[in-house]
Structure 1
Amino acid sequence: MNKKFLPALALSFSLGLSTCFIPGTVGLNISPNLRQSSVKRLSNRLKLEVMSQFQGHQLTGEAIIHIHYSRDGRYLLSVATDGLAKLWATDGKFIRAFVGQPVAMVFNGAFSSDSSQIVTASYDGVARIWSLQGQVLRELRGHTSGVTDVKFLSEEQGIVSSSDDGTVRYWSKDGNNWFTVPKTGVSRNMDISPQGNLLAVTQDIGTITLLSSRGDIIRTIGTGQGRLNSVSFSADGKLIVTAGFDGTARVFTLDGKEIVKLKVLDKGWVTGAAFSRDKLIATVSDDGILRLWDLDGNLLDSFNPGLERLGSVAFHPDGKNLAIAAYHGTLILLKIK
């Protein structure tokens, strides 16, 4: 393992887990422990129902896992610090694994907008573009530390990556580094707006930088949350939700105005937060509980699977399903009824 990446590793491990819903799961049994776990209904407006559970990766100790659902709804991508990216069918059937050479921990990944390719972000400082058949199409080299996140901008515009080296780089799909955006502080998490014209990038100092698809800095938003564990756009691209070290999730407009502050924990981290299509907010946190909120800050429902710490959460695009992940790689699929 390259020693120059070791200082970033301890920081990166605290990122936690990320998930996305896997629709149409069949043949995946729910464990007895899960059946006995608590789904607490706090409102007549909705009810959470557990659909399935399975093991995506075998992870121990401090680990990172992220899961992303393809836009066309056909595939699931999981990436983890075991050095593997895995492609799954939407019923949970394993299709294939993607392993970089040399093997290095994978911090994040994403599907292309047409769901024909994936890109992975690795601890070895390389972002790799893959075909769904498992071939490496391109390696993007230029970061001087681990690549922490990566997104496809669009089929024409290429790829953007963040890194422990504190920079954000924009790339053409043939591997040319178009330009680099230097920022103070390490950048770990990104999200691209559904419209594809705006990128939100977190810094460890507790700020979000909004960038255009061409790398122009639009605005820097101070969150007051300390280090941020996740950032996500709403479906209409007008709002951003963040998860912070201070036990809160907060919602901001694009001009930086805070409109909602959810006090999730008195002590501990909110490890993930996401919007549904209808602007419900889901949070997961150090206490191992999934919570659903509305934009007025009302707690609507909660779920405790009894799996210790939960890392991240994501809604299916239909807004009716979501998933959570535990740090050791267990994924739980839920439906909102």
Structure 2
Amino acid sequence: MKEDRDFGGAILLITIGVVFLLNTTGVLGWGIWPSILEFWPVILVLWGIKLIIGDSLIANIVMGVVSLIVYTGIIVLAYVGYTQNNIPFLSDDMNERIKQPIFQTFNGEYKEEDMKIEASKYENIETRNIDINVGASEFTLKDSAESEDYISLHSKYVDNHVEPELESSNKDKELNIEFSTKSPNNLFFFRNVTPMFNLEIGKASLLTNLNIQLGAGDGTVSLENVALNSVNAKVGAGDLEMSLLKNSVPKKMLIEIGAANMDLTIPKETGFSVEYKVGVGDLNIDDESLVTFASNNTYKSSNFDTATSKIEIVANVGAGSLNISTK
């Protein structure tokens, strides 16, 4: 009976054994392993290639040669990442990426930080666009009738876990503000922290467009002073509570929900229409469900034609739910 040989697998075992031997003899420190593990998806790629080309002798020889080249390259790159030496023929950016290990620990201590975009930084602004992009974090957004700052941020987070970015730019009397959370391209041994970001909008009379993208986090939006023109909300797998009352009633809203839950509260005297498309999720208005499976329709409130304040809502709900309440 012919015995199949797996040259690629053998090369992998030999490579691991050689690295362990260098570790145990003190030639190479154990700290190289985080850099090696950064390339673990390569094993899946090589396995997939092997499934495609089959188990013939020639295929196994080819896989053995390819595996030898690839694993040697991984060890070289991991060594560079471990020793922090540059490879001359690679760009500075690529060298920096190689030096960052996939596993990184942190001390778990929270850091608190305040940032703001002050009124003195930009003058003669007529419109403000606020983009909020939050991943695995919690955030709140409120407004202030007294503050003259365009926006302020109080952050509570852990370095190297999820960190805040607040940027702004001005073009043709239009102020663009971007708040986002960034995560280093690493995997962590510990994830038992919950970053918290509290935003406050000032200059309430300035016409504002609000765009929110929420991934797997939780968000609370409570606005009643800022002059909103439009609101876009895209929620993936998180939960978003949004209350738009008094002066903060936009003309248009675009809502996209994946597997998330969103609660929207608007004034009772405001007329609203909802053009909706729902997959396996749900749409409720004042605790009454409007949809059956895979619904596509338009709803108008009883006071839509007579109300002085109106909102046109376009909602696309996948497996989650949208709950609209009037207050």
**TM-score tier after normalising by the smaller chain length:** under 0.3
Q: Higher helix share goes to which structure?
A: 2
Structure 1 length-normalised TM:
0.25
Q: Which has the higher contact order (CA 8 A, sep 6+)?
A: 1
